[in-house]
């Protein structure tokens, strides 16, 4: 099979990538990726993408807002316990890097690593989680996350996530949570940004019931719970500024570079759409509230990318 050549992703008539004066305050985008999955995938393409991202995207004609990209000092382990421990720290701006020399070991460009063991990563405005869907040959923008069940597949520590823990943590949450972006607009912008038609991009409503779907739901739940408290105080805009990108396996350097550019295109799309439309809550009454009360029978099931032993999305 002929691989898609690496092409510039921003080929617009008015050169939307030409730097312009900023028309808004800098936006901070947190990007995470997962690490090795046992012997199957010693190099996880999600981390290959995240670790290659630049630390800064200047304002352009297409996205007239400067973007600060923040990536943790290391990939997340494919572990339920690690996600539960580190994800709230990353979302709240309290995560402190552990490895001052990780820029050399884990980050090919070394530009987006906070090298200080003292300073926490900044509080993000937008969160983009990236995960590997090894059974797919295309990239997907995941538009929602199910509450589970996450008890079928074991992580790298040999642990599943039992229903007792799910009920304790998520029992009072909707069966499906969604981000507060206009996801149709984000999709259109993303597809427009990536002008190489040989790169297959698709929207999806099925992030799976393994660590990809898990971290997506955990992050959305973090904001859902925080927003419930804010509703009592009525002192802040309620949003869930989280989304998820699934990548196929990217074995070559050209593949990884394409993945990096695809992620940049999505980051710009998220920032531009949020700047234009603000908070768009599909779970709010009158805007698709049926999703907020969905039963587990309504949760999307497998997308035909499973093998008999495990889900290959993580």
Task: Please give the pLDDT value at position 108.
Answer: 52
CA–CA gap between residue 193 and residue 265 (Å, rounded) = 5
For the question of whether the overall pTM of this predicted structure is more than 0.85, the answer is no
Query: Three-state secondary structure along the chain?
Result: CCCCCCCCCCCCCCCCCCECCCCCCCEEEEEECECCECCCECCCHHHHHHCCCCCEECCECCCCCCEEEECCCCCECCCHHHHHHHHHHHHHCCCCCCCCCHHHHCCCCCCCCCCCCCCCCCCCCEEEEEEEECCCCCEEEECCEECCCCCCCCCCCCCCCCHHHHHHHHCCCCCEECCCCCHHHHHHHHHHHCCCCCCCEEEECCCCCCHHHHHHHHHHHHHHHHHHHHHHHCCCCCCCCEEEEEECCCCCHHHHHHHHHHHHHHHHHHHHHHHHHCCCCCCCCCCCHHHHHCCHHHCCCCCCCCCCCCCCEC
pLDDT profile of the chain (314 residues), mean per 10: 42 50 84 92 96 97 93 97 98 85 47 60 97 94 97 96 96 96 98 92 97 98 86 70 98 97 98 95 62 34 32 56
Q: Which domains are present in the chain?
A: 27-298 (3.40.630.20)
């Amino acid at each position: 099979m002929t691989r898609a050549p690496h092409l510039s992703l921003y080929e617009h008539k008015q050169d939307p990538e030409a730097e312009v004066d900023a028309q808004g305050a800098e936006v901070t985008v947190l990007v995470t990726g997962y690490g090795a999955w046992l012997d199957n995938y010693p190099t996880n393409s999600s981390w290959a993408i995240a670790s290659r991202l630049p630390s800064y995207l200047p304002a352009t004609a297409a996205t007239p807002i400067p973007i600060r990209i923040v990536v943790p000092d290391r990939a997340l382990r494919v572990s339920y316990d690690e996600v539960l421990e580190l994800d709230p720290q990353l979302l709240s701006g309290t995560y402190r890097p552990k490895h001052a020399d990780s820029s050399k070991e884990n980050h090919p460009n070394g530009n987006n690593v906070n090298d200080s063991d003292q300073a926490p990563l900044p509080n993000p405005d937008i969160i983009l989680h990236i995960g590997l869907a090894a059974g797919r040959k295309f990239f997907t923008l995941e538009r929602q996350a199910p509450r589970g069940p996450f008890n079928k597949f074991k992580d790298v520590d040999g642990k599943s996530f039992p229903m007792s823990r799910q009920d304790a943590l998520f029992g009072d949450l909707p069966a499906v949570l969604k981000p507060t972006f206009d996801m149709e607009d984000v999709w259109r912008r993303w597809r427009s940004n990536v002008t190489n038609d040989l790169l297959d991009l698709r929207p999806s409503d099925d992030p799976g019931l393994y660590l990809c779907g898990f971290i997506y739901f955990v992050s959305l739940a973090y904001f859902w719970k925080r927003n419930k408290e804010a509703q009592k105080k009525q002192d802040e805009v309620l949003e869930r500024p989280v989304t998820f990108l699934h990548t196929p396996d990217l074995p070559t350097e050209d593949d990884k570079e394409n993945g990096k550019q695809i992620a940049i295109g999505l980051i710009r799309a998220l920032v531009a759409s949020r700047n234009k439309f603000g908070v768009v809550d599909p779970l709010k009454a009158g805007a698709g509230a049926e999703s907020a009360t969905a039963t587990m029978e309504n949760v999307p099931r497998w997308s035909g990318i499973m093998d008999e032993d495990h889900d290959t999305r993580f």
